[in-house]
Amino acid sequence: MTSSNRWSDLERPPLNESALRRALLTSPGLWTALDVVADTGSTNTDLVARAKAGAAEGAVLVAEAQSAGRGRLERRWTAPARSGLFFSILLRPGLPTQDGRPAVPVDRWGWLPLLAGVATAAAISRTAGVDTALKWPNDLLVTVGGEERKAAGILAERPDDTGLVIGVGLNVSLREDELPVPTAASLALAGAPVLDRDPLLRAVLRSVAEWYERWRAADGDPHECRLQEAYAAGCATLGRTVRAELPGGRQLVGEAVAVDSDGRLVISAEGRQETVGAGDVVHVRQVAGGEAERDQGDER
């Protein structure tokens, strides 16, 4: 149960909503509204509802605690109050911009969750001072005790024909005994020297805005704006043996060799290449006898 006292844990002070608004709600700029709530079920669910009611592009909703945070495949994401960054953003690539840029074709929107991953990884690495990597499609990994663990997840939902809501859940100060699963992680456990959530949130949102501007200027072309290159450079999945658990119970085991122009993972197996755009992919490592063992850093 979340305490009603926002200062109940002095090691985890509340976010400064007014300071965040002053820093981020600038004109010109992507971010148009920013609200911080003490507790909610899911920022994605709430912002999807606002989007359906007509919220403008650039709305940001942040929660100090979530009771029903969700990840891919409806996995739950829980953490103590004020121990991380739990927020959602509304983008509307399906509308022309005020300066006359056309809407981005829908078939390129699939890059937006990957864009959020690239932007978040770059901002956290730079601001928190820890090495980060991306697990395809949109998990943020950090290293704890020599093992890769998941510190953040990203979930995108489409509320209407013009927009996309992207939610980010990042563990910042969680201690080992507070982790939802042993293979999760936090910036604190990764040895980050900076755990102040205000500058971390500012850095992530500025990084997202920068990448989004480049992506829109390129009409959503991931190659032209160098998003595809940046994603590949930071993706820990590439070059590894992976097992793709696909709909219908089918499994595909092979080497992840590329991320294609649609953001799909290209897997080389048994002399042929297959692209994976849905389902669940886990890293695996080869052990004695050639059998594949699940990499502990990749459990959700």
Confidence tier at 299 by pLDDT (50, 70, 90): very low
CATH code: domain 17-234 is 3.30.930.10
Share of the chain above pLDDT 90, in %: 78
Confidence tier at 18 by pLDDT (50, 70, 90): very high
Average pLDDT over residues 30-50: 97
Domain with CATH 2.30.30 in the chain: 241-298
Q: What is the pLDDT of residue 9?
A: 64
Domain with CATH 3.30.930.10 in the chain: 17-234
Residue 166 near residue 88, CB atoms below 8 Å: yes
Share of the chain above pLDDT 70, in %: 87
pTM of the predicted structure, to 2 decimals: 0.90
3-state secondary structure of 34: strand
Question: CB 269: neighbour CB atoms within 10 A?
Answer: 15
Token pair 């399906």 is found at 94
CA 86 from centre of chain: 10
Residue 57 pLDDT exceeds 60 = yes
245 to each of 237, 271, 288, how far by Cα in Å? 15, 19, 23
Token pair 């829908």 is found at 106
Residue 139 near residue 280, CB atoms below 8 Å: no
Q: Alpha-carbon distance 200 to 87, whole Å? A: 12
Q: What is the pLDDT of residues 95-140, one digit of tens each?
A: 998 888 899 999 999 999 999 999 999 999 999 999 999 999 989 9
Q: What is the pLDDT of residue 88?
A: 98
Q: Using alpha carbons only, what angle is made at residue 44 by residues 17 and 30, rounded to the nearest 5 degrees?
A: 55
CATH topology for 241-298 is: SH3 type barrels. (2.30.30)
List of E strands, the chain? 33-37, 59-63, 69-70, 76-77, 84-91, 133-135, 139-144, 147-157, 164-171, 241-245, 251-259, 265-269, 272-276, 280-286, 292-294
Q: What is the pLDDT of residues 202-261, one digit of tens each?
A: 999 999 999 999 999 999 999 999 999 999 999 999 999 999 988 788 899 999 999 999
